[in-house]
Amino acid sequence: MEYIFGFIVLLGVLIFVHEFGHFIIAKLLGVKVLKFSLGFSPVMIKRKWGETEYMLSWIPLGGYVKLFGEEPDSEEEITPEEKDRAFTNKPIWARIAIVAAGPIFNFIFAVILLCSGFVAGFPVLASEVGKALPDSPALQAGFEPGDMVTAIDGKPVWRWDDVRNIIEDSAGRRLNFTVERKGQTLDIPVTPALSDQKDVFGELKGRIGIAPSGKKIELSFVAAIGEGVRFSGYLTRLVVMTLVKLARGEIGMKALSGPITIAQASGESLKAGLFSFIFLMSYISINLAIINLLPIPVLDGGHILFFLIEAIIRKPVTGKIRDVAVQLGLLIIVFLIGLVFFNDIYRIVTKGWTLSP
């Protein structure tokens, strides 16, 4: 039940946020909204309030907002009285704002979630050494439990993430650690060795063999907000790096996961606690924001691309060119959906119900 409940809540909330972004900006810019749907057909519940029909459907893998006069070459009748409320009659900047609002709302929602999490007590580990592993460069260099790393090569650090990131990116390069030990300030030079364990991108990183003490930092309200924004940026870079490495072929397509993995992660994060679930929802929300902005027809980014082309050629992209582009976009999406389902099922068949790499 944790997997089902977590999956429905996570995707339901993120889909609502995305579609609400389109909906509210369309309303604010005077566009008539015909339908607001969470999920895809068959329809479970539908009600009409005002000029908009609201629907809750059985397939919780998406949603949509239908706008009046949405397609430039549609046969939909637009009366003179409603001309100003048609989507296609709005300026290009307004149409881009409406389409981009979904991904932007997903990103803003992730930032709010993470900031709230850090304000509520998301753990931030201090840069204090808990132990130096046997036969490690750190042990040979003289690190001791309780050493507080305050700077690396003169750059101030205070959170464990900073220490780890610098070490991982410095394999084979000598680093000078400034540490506080029992009231004294010491300089400890050490060269990170190349690890035999790969990271999430399949790359080998630098290691010196130290583990955190587990000491947590108490953040002020302002510092917690800053940490939430910083961590949102980190997750954004992680998603962008993944897409870039996929495009370059540095990561195989088998690394892609889909709804089954999201359901597993949702259940496991619920079992681990509210903080874990909030983190997962934030990460998936940033994923949705960035992926939806890709310039693939049928995605938000594809629509924005059409609008930018329209701004250049001074007329809408219609007819066969648009139809072919949309069909190609649909083929890409169907292929990706089939691929991620295959990857999820193959992983379960070969490795069992586990999320370990």
Active site residue ranges: 19
- Residues 202 and 250: their CA atoms lie apart, in Å, by 9
In Å, the largest CA–CA distance within the chain is 81
**Which two three-digit tokens encode residue 28?**
């604010």
Q: How far is CA 296 from CA 126, 254, 270, in A?
A: 42, 21, 33
- Residues 283 and 292: their CA atoms lie apart, in Å, by 14
| 8-state DSSP, 159 | B
User: Are 45 and 38 within 8 A, CB to CB?
Assistant: no
| Of 232, 342, 354, the residue nearest 289 (C-alpha) | 232
- Residues 117 and 79: their CA atoms lie apart, in Å, by 49
- Residues 167 and 170: their CA atoms lie apart, in Å, by 5
